[in-house]
Structure 1
Amino acid sequence: MTPLHAAPHHAAAAAVVSSPNSAPLLRAKPYHPRAAAAAMASACSLTVTATTPSRKAFLSCPDHGQAGVAPPRSAPASPPALISSVQDLYDFICSGPLVERIGYTKEKIAESIDRWLRCGVQVARLFRLNELHLSESEKARIYHFYIPVFLWCEDQVTEHRSKYNEGDEIPPLVIGVSAPQGSGKTTLVFALDYLFRFSGSKSATLSIDDFYLTAADQAKLRESNPGNALLEFRGNAGSHDLPFSVETLESLTKLTKEGMKMKVPRYDKSAFGGRGDRADPSTWPEVEGPIEVVLFEGWMLGFKPLPNEVVKAVDPQLEVVNKNLQAYYDAWDRFIGSWMVIKIKEPSCVYQWRLQAEIAMRADGKPGMSDEEVMDFVSRYLPAYHAYLPTLYKEGPNGSNPEHLLVIDIDEQRNPMWGR
């Protein structure tokens, strides 16, 4: 069956060469990074396109909306920390806050250390870092964050596929990534998608932003809710085309055979002076089956409707948003088999991160919102954060299974930390 959004065949993208599994080995002797990197590069080559994020993007990790678009600059990197031996790297990996949460022991890390090394080289090159001379911040972002999360995702995909018999058409596992704006989820998903392709698995990425109403329908929503600032612009529940999202997700889950193709929708936030509109279908990226994993991210993914008195106590304007939210489980959450939740200390972090991004844009001579405009923009999301995040953090996303849920606490610098 030809999937929805089917498109004509185009020239294949750069080939991905997956590396063979090598025997794990924890060496006590000095590690020679140049030789190791050269060996890994020859076995695990992957073309990096012109849209590869920069070193600045890696550390700032803003929520830039369009995967592959280099985000604004970040603060200067910390002093370099050369990895001198595999033993040093092993000790550093074992000290990470996510190791236990992804089900890894010191023994399991030792057995898979070559896998960590290969992935580390690829992530470093993806973000244009010198894999032989990483700063402490860069090393932590790679080995305490991106690689542990990727290995967890891989395990989730493996378990999902083990439930089917040989010869079955296996639908892709949809992994939901729920994280506030500016927390780095888009950059994380970009890195995960890259690592899946590097490992030889076909993946697709989606954002809830891709399902925003068209500009015309957004105007109708605004007109039908006069005076409600939460529905004046895109963002909150009610501003998404839910039938379109169901159509897209159902088509992706049917992409189980070689030769099946579909175009994945994208949203253009710059259209209509920043009010946004659905991007022209001719610009949508194309994916080809069989897809093994779909990475689906969004700031309000997994939010559960609450009693009216609860949301009205936060902001009376949330009442209609809360009512709209009731339809989102069937449109989004029911498709998700595994969940990742990035947990922040306070919703005020969203304002700080957005302000940092806009200040950096203005410093680079690019158009950016003023401090007052940033406050106005974020204020339209804060009521939902205050209302729904406590339940999300306490109970997990709507319909989630605790055995397939990874919670990642991050600090103000967007780095993972030990859970509270």
Structure 2
Amino acid sequence: MLSDASAATVRATLPAVGAAIDEITERFYDRLFAARPELLRDLFNRGNQAAGTQRQALAGSIAAFAAHLVDRPDERPDAMPHHAMLNRIAHKHASLGICPEQYEVVREHLFAAIAEVLGDAVTPEVAAAWDEVYRLLADTLIAVERRLYEERGAGAGGSRWREWEVVERVRETADVVTLRLRPADGGPLPEHRPGQYVSVRVTLPDGARQIRQYSLSRAPGASLWQIGVKRVRGGQGCPDGEVSNHLHARVDVGDTLSLSAPYGDLVLDQDSGVPLLLASAGIGVTPMIAMLEQLALTGHTAPVTVVHADRSPAEHALRTDQEAYAAKLPDAAVHFWYEHPEPGHPADRTGLMDLSEVAIPTGTRAYLCGPLPFLRAVRAQLVEKGVGAAEIHYEVFGPDLWLARD
């Protein structure tokens, strides 16, 4: 809980800090990478840093956390409404192998950046209050991450990287390839839940070891792990995806990849009596495939609505799997939208996803995965159709700019 004195100070200074938070986080990353260049080379996503999205996500998360602390100073941080945001961050951190000591490194450079940007406004009282905010944030994340590591048999900060052999490559579309993998040590596959992801660590030609997350696109119990990798093409100031292009161009059958244990909080909470909606766009289809397969394997009896949006049928990866698993369910409806339809595609499914004519059963639980604009639009449509906000769960690829800004 935030102390009364710190709550008052944070409440008074939150407007100034909030107004400068983007500059503060930009200065923070500049300082951090100047002092610890290996973190940018081997841990942080260089593409997100170049695009500025990681900076925006950090700024929004800090501001949101501080705002909720001052609004509810007597609540434990892990009981706050935005604990979902913290849980999502903790899963991502655990997939990267973040350890408690790294929070102190962040603290050092974050508070130096605050002092640089706000100058004399950062009195000892202000510094102490915001330090308390940061320590509450860090302690909450460290506790969640410790639990995640323990559940997977790893010590704090031990992501247990494991070598996996690529046993099959399947070209799904021009820009999406499926990689099927098995443990190189011949051991068993770790347990996972439908919807979770793994981190993939690769060594790039310049020697950097970059890490990216990819959803597992098979249900638990399969003899192999499977991930779908979309080649990220740059544009509008954003570089090409380093890891995705590396996996497309340089990784083949027989090669090995370093993978983390499974993480991610967008997981299928299956109840055979609850109607479900699985909504995806682009490569966001991958966790939905795992969920659909699981529903088919377990004989889910309640209605399942599958909706997907893509640029064109040719760019729609894993469509055959979506249709095949849905066909095994006793009560499933499938709807696809394409911005650029091809001959034979229904005209009423042209353009962006529009759920106005799609029947959504009462009591539906929804799972969403895709780009942020898609998630916002679909969530709004679902709420308008009577789906409870608490029943809408999502995964966004890349830094999460949603809850951090809400």
Per the normalisation by structure 2, the TM-score is 0.31
Larger strand fraction of residues: 2
TM-score of the two chains, using structure 1 as the length reference: 0.30
The higher relative CO (CA closer than 8 Å, separation ≥ 6) is in 1
